[in-house]
Amino acid sequence: MIKYFNNKKIVIGVTGSIAAYKAVDLASQLKQRGAIVDVIMTETATKFIHPLSFQAITHREVVVDLYDPSSEIGMDHLVLANQADLFIVAPATANIVSKAALGIADNALISTLLATEAPVLVCPAMDGDMFQKPQIKNNIEKLIEFGFHVLGPNEGRLASGNIGKGRLVEIYEIQNMCRYIFGIKGDYRGKNIVVTSGGTKEHIDPVRYISNNSSGKMGNFIAEAARDRGAFVQLVSSSLSAKSSAGIELKKVKTADQMLRAVELASTSADVLIMAAAVSDWKPIDVSEQKIKKDGQKEISIQMTQSSDILSTVLKPGLFKVGFAAETEDIINNASEKLNSKGLDLIVANDISDDSIGFESDYNSVTIIDKNGIAKQVDRSLKYEVANLILDEVLNLYV
């Protein structure tokens, strides 16, 4: 498992909501990804879930009462405020949102929250009608003005049984927001990066199409890694697994022509273009409007023409361009030829005949070649780690 939050000290504030049980999963997920997690609960939160649940997950004492004489932390709860790298309130009730906005420090959670200098992420969860009240809206706006990050709530079925906007956001959304917040001061801050991922599809008829085995994982990991380092990322993808999240703006496409148009538009404001997508080299000249029937035919001929060459077409001055070369033989020479013919700054070559680093794998082994002909071998590593090594090379050459 990738340790996105390795040794980061994260405090989770849990309030009295039916969604409090989800905070146990949040604590578990953050800890599994390397974070040191402390939990502070309001008294009402303990009515929904016992502090021992969090203690079992985090292996650390849970703070509830500022004045508990049996607590090892006790009044030293401010140590948590001072040591925290990030403070998350999830779920955040209307009560706690309003107290934070007005500075009412009448419990351990709010007292610690108001004392911390760490970034704060508030994830509201409440009845939909309550969330729509102007008082709550105003208090959330105040928190944003104070520099707090606010995520959610989502729309869905609420505890009342009604459908409305008030559900706690999903745990993966909170994790992505945490990664975005930690990346704000990263070495890619201020950079606008366009990344492509997935294999494009070229239809033969409404049912059949020509495509390839690309899963989109490598490009998706590059997008995430760039976001985690502070970049604003535009991800142009045909991958089903690609998702929009904090710091990543997703543009879904299917064909090579659609990808070209999306990349051209996104690149107008971009500093770097990383073409990790497997774009179809060929497409049918004529696409049947109806499903092609067999009708006793044993063979069928389909005339093909070249698809859009995106890297050669996008010619924005100053745009740093990175290509990928998925090869089965003569890897380095073929990749170097592609780098030169398309005017790239960097190319990433990989051997797709190696099953241990296949399309669906979370691992990859690549050779990174720059425009000066310098090649760097990256042995089998997690694709997220490979993504960061690629970004390191981009940064070294771009600066």
pLDDT surpasses 60 at 74: no
Q: What is the pLDDT of residue 72?
A: 63
Residue 399: the pLDDT is 61
Confidence of residue 299 (pLDDT cuts 50, 70, 90): confident
Interatomic CA distance for residues 325 and 346, integer angstroms: 11
Quick check: 160 and 127 in contact, CB under 8 A?
Answer: yes
Tracing tokens 């604590």 back to the chain, one arrives at 27
Measured CA to CA, the distance from residue 96 to residue 150 in angstroms comes to 13
Question: pLDDT band for position 76 (50/70/90)?
Answer: low
For the chain, the first-to-last Cα distance in angstroms comes to: 32
Span 265-278, pLDDT tens digits: 999 999 999 999 99
Q: How far apart are CA 277 and CA 384, in angstroms?
A: 16
Q: Closest Cα partner for 319 from 344, 348, 347? A: 344
- pLDDT single digits (tens) 194-211: 999 999 999 988 888 888
Q: Where are the beta strands (DSSP E) in 238-341?
A: 248-252, 272-275, 282-284, 304-306, 320-327
302 vs 54: which has the higher pLDDT: 54
Using pLDDT thresholds of 50, 70 and 90, give the confidence band for residue 73: low
How many Å apart are CA 274 and CA 294, to the nearest integer? 41
Active-site pick, 95, 154, 192, 212 = 212
Overall residue count recorded for the chain in this entry: 399
Question: What is d(CA 256, CA 145) in angstroms, rounded to the nearest whole number?
Answer: 43
Amino acid found at 279: V
Across the range 125-141, mean pLDDT stands at 92
Backbone conformation region of residue 156, classed left if phi is above 0, alpha if psi is from -120 to 50, else beta = left
Q: Is 245's pLDDT higher than 80?
A: yes
Is residue 140's pLDDT more than 60? Answer: yes
pLDDT at 108 over 60: yes
Tracing tokens 């990804």 back to the chain, one arrives at 33
pLDDT band at 307 (very low <50, low <70, confident <90, very high): confident
pTM for the complete prediction? 0.89
pLDDT in tens, 143-160: 999 999 999 898 878 777
How many CB atoms are closer than 10 A to CB 267?
21
3-state percent helix, strand, coil for the chain, nearest multiple of 5 = 35, 25, 40
Q: Is 213 a catalytic residue?
A: no
89: nearest Cα among 171, 8, 14, 172: 14
CB-based contact 261:280 (threshold 8 Å): no
127 has pLDDT over 90: no
Assign 162 a pLDDT band (cuts: 50, 70, 90): confident
CA gap 393, 74 in Å, rounded: 48
Angle at 161 between CA 156 and CA 162, to 5 degrees: 60
Q: Which of 49-63, 158-172, 231-245 has the lowest mean pLDDT?
A: 158-172
pLDDT score of 66 more than 90 = no
pLDDT confidence band for 75 (50 / 70 / 90): low
Residue 219: per-residue pLDDT:
95
Report angle CA 18, 22, 25 to the nearest 5 degrees.
Answer: 160
Q: What is the pLDDT of residue 114?
A: 95
**In order of start, what are the domains of the chain with their CATH numbers?**
9-182 (3.40.50.1950), 187-398 (3.40.50.10300)
Confidence of residue 67 (pLDDT cuts 50, 70, 90): low
Return all residues near 316 (Cβ < 8 A) that are at least 6 apart: 267, 268, 270
Instruction: Name the average pLDDT for the chain.
Output: 91
Query: 342-379, pLDDT tens digit by residue?
Result: 999 999 998 877 777 777 788 999 999 999 889 999 99
Strand boundaries in 34-177, DSSP class E: 36-41, 86-92, 120-124, 149-150, 154-157, 163-167
Residue pair 367/350 in contact (Cβ under 8 Å)? The answer is yes
pLDDT at position 349: 93
Q: Which of 10, 175, 148 is nearest to 92 (CA)?
A: 148
